[in-house]
Structure 1
Amino acid sequence: MKNTITFLCALFIFNINFAQSNKKVLFKVDKNYYEAVDKWVVYPSEKEDKTVTLGFIYIDRQAGFTLNYEYDIELTLEGLKKGSSLDNTSLKVRLTKDFGKVAILTPQQVKELGLPEQPDWLKIYKKDAKKVSYLTKIGYHYNHVGASKFALTPLLKAYEKEPHFAGLEFELSYAYNAIGEFEKAITILEKAIHNNPNNYFFFRELGFSYKNLKRVEDAERTYKKGISMSDNDFEKSEMAVNMAQTYFELRNRKKFDEWAKLTRKFAKKGARYAKFIDYFESNWDKK
């Protein structure tokens, strides 16, 4: 069994292209890590300019986006030259938003390096790939890094099987809201609330959908319901500031003051949402 070294933050940050015109070796470094899931990728090595590092990106159900380091590749006049590996040690890098872009290997490059389409060890992480719990968690990880359009595929697969699975409806509605598909989010949330009317997160997302569709009265009614149900002051302040922003944009001072007061009631002093209210007030006459 291999030993595993896990890093909780990215080790390499970059955004450049590597090319070797002699042998037409080109690595186009233009993909975010969440676009390269289950792919072989390369990224610049810390060793030297003509060396790149080979890895495989996958999603660990618990830890999230992960890069498994394989070895370095030297770009020579003869083509790609495989470097040394870590022998029996597996280096895993937990990817964060600061991790730079990567280049996805072409099928020809995968073949040239003698790589399998996917490493054998990936099967361990894919053994529950058809389960609703697995699909929901994968969707969560995409949502968590701001890649909600990629979250839709696993979440919709899960929704077809078990729509009311714990956490699934929230993740799916969150993904739809994040990509601007507010009507689709509402459809999911109405069914979710009918099934479980006591989850204030559903009302938070539904209020956001209504707000962005300019359905102000529906948004206000929904946020008030969510605030009355929630026991989390941060969530309450988020719902309140969303309505305050709406009335700031509509120049309705009476309603703005009402929601500004609620925001300050629930937001900690100096917190981001409290500062938003300060900004709206100081810029009221400038808009």
Structure 2
Amino acid sequence: MSKSLPALIIFFLISSLGSSQIKNDLTFESSIGEAFEKYSVLRSNDPNEYVLGIVYFDATAGMSFRYLGNLNAQDDDTLQFEGIPNGMMIMRIESNWNKSHILSDDDVAVLKLEEDFVTSLSGLLKNYNPEKKDLKYKYDLGFAFNHSGDGNAALPYLMEVHAEDPLYERLPFEIAFAYNASGQYDKALKFIDSSDVIVTEDILLLKELNFAYANSDQIDKSIKLYDELKSKDFEKELKAEIAFNIAGHYFRSLNRDEFLKWKKETNTYNNTQLDGILDQLEAQLKIEIEKSTTGEN
């Protein structure tokens, strides 16, 4: 199975799926939000085999993938669909969704997916897509998109919740996280500034504030925030992440001296994961600086 689906098999349903063929013209460009509630194809560890299924949201299990079978590459540039002989699997999507291919309506028709009760998308949605979606459902769906790597898909659901209850659970953090994850740093800063949350009392929101500063060229504010928090009773992990984000800014701007300064500062917190990343960035920074001085692309 695809490495992108760390998963828990939930249940099986009996089915007698046949096989059909479609053209092998797969393009893996769709995010999890774009693939949501559609027939989607994922790469597997075998370059000649692809995984076919449906991405959907289960209010109990979270973001899920209904695995329907495989598409196997043939010599005539087609893909043959082989359904699971004895049933179907449902798996939990935890994180790190890789780009997928969305089947066209024509391919769905050729594979006769809507004609089988197990493979039918419309049948699935009747069971897992309630007509009345309450705040918890919308929040949980936004959360699931966020932590599957698609902040853009998360935002519409989170903002719907925000319109009704601005302080719902961890909503301010999730919205700021979604903006940052989708590269909308100015919007993240604007949202945090307008939030009713006392930012200095919210560690997770502080992380997002610093991340937005460091990635929107407001590095002075990021450094000031770090200086303010360094002597306070916050977790070492928070301080390490803030220092790491500042180092990341100087990596992107090819400022080796400042990068090394903030790499050293991050190292003081003995965060093995961040220290390892910084070692890799230091090596890459040397290469990037050499390219910039020689005019290489």
**2:217 equivalent among 198, 202, 214:** 214
Q: Say if 2:40 is the partner of 1:38.
A: no
Matched residues in 1 for 2:189 and 2:109: separation?
Answer: 46
Counterparts in 2 of 1:239-250, with a 5 A limit?
Answer: 239-246=242-249
More strand by share: 1
Taking the TM superposition and a 5 Å limit, the aligned residue runs for 1:216-255 are 216-227=219-230, 231-246=234-249
Q: Which residue of 2 aligns with 1:168?
A: 171
User: Could you say what secondary structure the match of 1:137 adopts?
Assistant: helix
Structure 1 contact 71–85 (Cα < 8 Å) conserved: yes
Alignment of 1:167-206 (within 5 A): 167-192=170-195, 194-195=197-198, 197-206=200-209
Stretch deviating more after TM superposition (95-104 or 189-198): 95-104
- Quick one: which amino acid aligns to residue 114 of structure 2? L
**How many residues get paired?**
263
Q: Distance in 1 between matches of 2:139 and 2:70?
A: 34
* Matched ranges for 1:261-272 at <5 A: 262-268=265-271, 270-272=272-274
TM-score when normalising by structure 1: 0.67
Secondary structure of the structure 2 residue equivalent to 1:28:
coil
Amino acid at match of 1:154: Y
Does the 8 Å contact 1:38/1:58 carry over to 2?
yes
| TM-score where L is the length of structure 2 | 0.66
- Write the distance in 1 (CA, Å) between the matches of 2:202 and 2:254: 29
Take 2:43 and 2:217, find their aligned partners in 1: how far apart are those partners? 46
Q: Deviations over 1:35-78 (max 9, x none)?
A: 3110123568999x7x976422213346544221335679999x
Amino acid of the residue matched to residue 182 of structure 1? Y
272-281 or 27-36, which deviates more? 272-281
Identical amino acids, percent of aligned pairs? 23
Q: Indicate the structure whose relative CO is greater, using CA pairs within 8 Å and at least 6 residues apart.
A: 2
CA distance in 2, matches of 1:28, 1:250: 38
Give CA deviations for 1:264-287 in whole Å, capped at 9, x if unaligned.
33233x54337627965996xx78
The residue that corresponds to 2:153 in the other structure is: 150
RMSD, matched Cα: 4.6
